[in-house]
Structure 1
Amino acid sequence: MNRGRMLKSAVAMAAVSSLSFGCGSEAERRAFPVEVTAATLSQEPNERGWRIVLDSAHVSVGPVRFFEGRVLLSSRATPRFDWYSLIGGTAHAHPGHYVPGDALGELLETHTVDLLGGVSVMGTASAVTGEYGSLELTLATPTDAQGVLKGHAVRVVGTATNPDGGQVRFDVDADLPKPVAGVRFEKSLGTEMGRVRISVDLRKWMDRIDFATATDPDADGVYTFPADSQARNALLRGVEDTTAYVVTWEEGAVQ
């Protein structure tokens, strides 16, 4: 997030806080835990006909910022042309106009999350009560370049099998140039006990990939995705897809 956007968020948070305690408005300070998990990857073939089994999937998450702005879906009956189809991708429905609006909360810590390891608690967001509409998710490059992410924001390892039985063992990574903005989270949040859970849909991450375009296997026969390949572009498209992140409010305390 650039300096201007950070200042805007800080001013918005200060304004909400001031309104809450200086004018007797409905907004109140509150805090809630933020969790990250992943939906189970189904064994159905992806859009390119490959069945995928993941050995590991890790992501570096944070900061997470919450906003009042809602994600407005496009009302077009027929989607406009998607340039990505020219290189073998598939056009997908996407959100329409999105304005973040005022900032309502934030969690500033960054954590490496094992997406196959169950639910991970990232920390506690500082926030206020109000009408939540969306969040912004930063998938940051981790500071520990020697860790499981090898200095990247995302790393997935596994095996893909095509209909003819051919297999591609892969170990690939991804980095995004900017946060994933406009992730839907609609909640009228008061002071009730609960936490936010962000569920990563690994299917959405992997669905567009044609593993036949993976190349450059190492000595053990493990493939990577070259920068100009369909596989690399498809992975990046999946990771930046806002619908790959399902955000819910879970009632009750963290177990």
Structure 2
Amino acid sequence: MNRRGMLKGALALATASALSLGCGSEAERRTFTVETTATPLSQQPNERGWRITLDTAQVSLGPVRFFEGRVLLSSRSPRFDVYSLIGGTAHAHPGHYIPGDALGELLETHTVNLLGGVTPLGTASAVTGEYGSLELTLPAPTATTDAQGVLKGHAVRLVGTATHAEKGQVRFDVAADLPKPVAGVRFEKSLGKEAGRVRISVDLRKWMDRIDFATATDPDADGTYTFPADSQAQNALLRGVEDTTAYVVTWEEGAAQ
């Protein structure tokens, strides 16, 4: 079966060749809902000794694109990381990753309240097949995607309080912007025509685990701190949001509730 015309969108998922599932079978068109939620922060201190409470966790999400390529962790020692010079901790590095064929896409973009439970993002146009990974875009919002302006023009906005036994308390209102999509997020599923939906769970702990809030400066009149562009805190936040392991993707059986 020719894939041309099966999917629409920027990836041009339709091609002139058939997508084989093995044993001579061919891909079939299908759709599925994509939704997002978040793993709550625990009260355990982060790597820098800060206990964090979030009042606001907003993010601009979409498009989401699905690929057959699987994510392999590298067995090599991680290469030198300049982040270690400003107080970082070594984390697993992704190994060789080739996206391979595109199998599905959701082109919508939404502003999502990560503290608001499960949020539907929309319906992905897709085909059956062997899924291995996805690419998640966190774009700057527009007046249409963020009509209330909660993100203040940024891809991610976090508001809350961090407390350290020795360094005191920091009230923060911070933001992050990604230069490119988060590619190579693991999602391994042999997907047929069964009913179900994809759930993307954001691990807020991993977003904030590396941050030393003592490097936040320039509080406003209300005593709320931001992260300067060249600070350890801002670099740590950006690295957390870019971390592919901060996104746990699962297939939830059955129709959405």
**TM-score higher than 0.5:** yes
Who is 2:210 aligned against?
208
* 2-structure distance, mates of 1:136, 1:70: 12
Identity of paired residues, percent? 84
* 2-structure distance, mates of 1:185, 1:101: 14
Once the 2 structures are TM-superposed, how far is the Cα of residue 121 of structure 1 from its aligned partner?
0.2
Change (3 A) 1:64 1:41: same
1:83 counterpart = 2:85: no
* 2-structure distance, mates of 1:184, 1:193: 21
Matched to 2:30, the amino acid is R
Matched to 1:186, the amino acid is E
Who is 1:236 aligned against?
238
1:84-99 matches, within 5 Å, as 84-99=83-98
1:57-206 matches, within 5 Å, as 57-76=57-76, 78-144=77-143, 147-164=149-166, 166-206=168-208
* 2-structure distance, mates of 1:246, 1:188: 17
* 2-structure distance, mates of 1:9, 1:160: 41
User: Helix, strand or coil: the match of 2:205?
Assistant: helix
Post-superposition CA distance 1:20-59 (Å, at most 9, x none): 8xxx842100000000100011010000000000001000
Once the 2 structures are TM-superposed, how far is the Cα of residue 89 of structure 1 from its aligned partner?
1.2
Matched to 1:93, the amino acid is A
Contact 1:215 1:226 survives alignment (8 Å): yes
Matched to 1:99, the amino acid is I
* 2-structure distance, mates of 1:239, 1:114: 15
* Alignment length (residue pairs): 244
User: Helix, strand or coil: the match of 1:14?
Assistant: coil
TM-score (norm 2): 0.91
Post-superposition CA distance 1:102-143 (Å, at most 9, x none): 000000000000000000000000000000000000001110
User: Helix, strand or coil: the match of 2:142?
Assistant: coil
* 1-structure distance, mates of 2:83, 2:120: 35
Once the 2 structures are TM-superposed, how far is the Cα of residue 17 of structure 1 from its aligned partner?
7.9
Matched to 2:36, the amino acid is V
Contact 1:16 1:128 survives alignment (8 Å): no
* Mean Cα deviation higher: 57-66 or 87-96: 87-96
Contact 1:195 1:250 survives alignment (8 Å): yes
Contact 1:17 1:29 survives alignment (8 Å): no
User: Helix, strand or coil: the match of 2:83?
Assistant: helix
Who is 2:5 aligned against?
none
User: Helix, strand or coil: the match of 1:73?
Assistant: coil
Matched to 1:112, the amino acid is T
Post-superposition CA distance 1:175-204 (Å, at most 9, x none): 000000000000000000000000000000
* 1-structure distance, mates of 2:70, 2:151: 32
User: Helix, strand or coil: the match of 2:154?
Assistant: coil
* 1-structure distance, mates of 2:16, 2:73: 27
Matched to 2:123, the amino acid is T
Contact 1:87 1:230 survives alignment (8 Å): yes
Contact 1:17 1:28 survives alignment (8 Å): no
Post-superposition CA distance 1:1-21 (Å, at most 9, x none): xxxxx99931xx21278558x
Contact 1:57 1:156 survives alignment (8 Å): yes
Change (3 A) 1:109 1:168: same
User: Helix, strand or coil: the match of 2:236?
Assistant: helix
Q: 1:246 aligns with which of 220, 233, 248?
A: 248
Who is 2:47 aligned against?
47
* 1-structure distance, mates of 2:79, 2:65: 30
TM-score (norm 1): 0.91
What is the CA RMSD across the aligned residues, in angstroms?
Answer: 1.8
Who is 2:34 aligned against?
34
